[in-house]
Amino acid sequence: MRLGLVPVNMGPVSRPDALVRAGRAAEAAGFDSVWAGDHTVLPDPQVPASPPRPQDPVLEPLLALTWAAAHTVTIRLATGIVIVPQRNPAILAKQVATLDVLSGGRVIFGIGAGYLEPEFRAVGANFAERGAVTDEYLDAMRALWYDEHPAYHGRFADFVGIDAHPRPLQQPIPLIAGGNSAPAYRRAVARAHGWYGYGLTPYQAAASLAGLTTAADHIQRPAELGELEISVTPRDRITPELAAEFARAGVHRLVLPAPPTADGPAQAIEAAAAAISGL
């Protein structure tokens, strides 16, 4: 069972010194990754589907992970997740490639289509067609990262006669698709190396794996993607019993949530070490 820590860009951990401590502590404890979430803006007043409050500090995830990269050596740097349809695909591709180069090839690119309409409205993004936009943008980004002569022609992205260097060190960058909907499951099966679920119980994780299996029955998974890696942030504080339940459900990585306090990351790391010692 691999371990991650989330988030390293929100609340008390968003302070520069706290972010560094969290990244170094997770690395020293043997965690394989630190994760940063994405909210450029937040609805005010808060709406029920939005976990953070509008006044909660949220660092831009790729910049936060760059800061973490500068103060760590081996731990992987994961976006958990970036809301792809709210970004320009060429700029996002450049940002992710830059982080991969600066970190020595440590990026895990976690993505999602988003769910908060006020965010989309504020940044001028297409909420109604966010799933289709996400898929096109991912294809456009792949062209910029991996094609000798990048070109893409779609409804939402269109370019030719351009290039973008440096390319990512990782070929390919690990892609993780987040979300608990049928389109998200299809996206994970068809395009991603892994799937990420946030705030789940073992029962909900098992249900999501069933959804992924159903998607795989209807979509041919490219062989080069390999086995779908399953990452989950538990809803409840981790215990040995809970960790064992997630393992039995088929989860490969637990991305532990840090409580929203100054010593939250340390608490999460300590609990995780005790919880998986017997797995």
Task: Show the beta-strand stretches assigned E in 47-188.
Answer: 76-79, 82-83, 107-112, 152-153, 158-159, 175-178
Coil, strand, or helix at residue 250?
coil
Examine residue 85 and say whether the peptide bond preceding it is cis (omega within 30 degrees of 0). Answer: no
* β-strand pairing of 253-257 with 2-6: parallel
Question: What's the domain range around 155?
Answer: 2-276
**Beta carbons of 174 and 217 less than 8 angstroms apart:** no
The domain tally of the chain equals: 1
pLDDT tens-digit profile, the chain (279 residues)? 999 999 999 999 999 999 999 999 999 999 999 999 999 999 999 988 778 899 999 999 999 999 999 999 999 999 999 999 999 999 999 999 999 999 999 999 999 999 999 999 999 999 999 999 999 999 999 999 999 999 999 999 999 999 999 999 999 999 999 999 999 999 999 999 999 999 999 999 999 999 999 999 999 999 999 999 999 999 999 999 999 999 999 999 999 999 989 899 999 999 998 888 767
Alpha carbons 183 and 185: distance in angstroms, whole number: 5
Q: Write down the pTM of the prediction.
A: 0.97
Q: What is the CATH number of the domain that holds 36?
A: 3.20.20.30
**Beta carbons of 38 and 81 less than 8 angstroms apart:** yes
- Which among 157, 30, 184 is positioned nearest to 93, based on CA atoms? 157
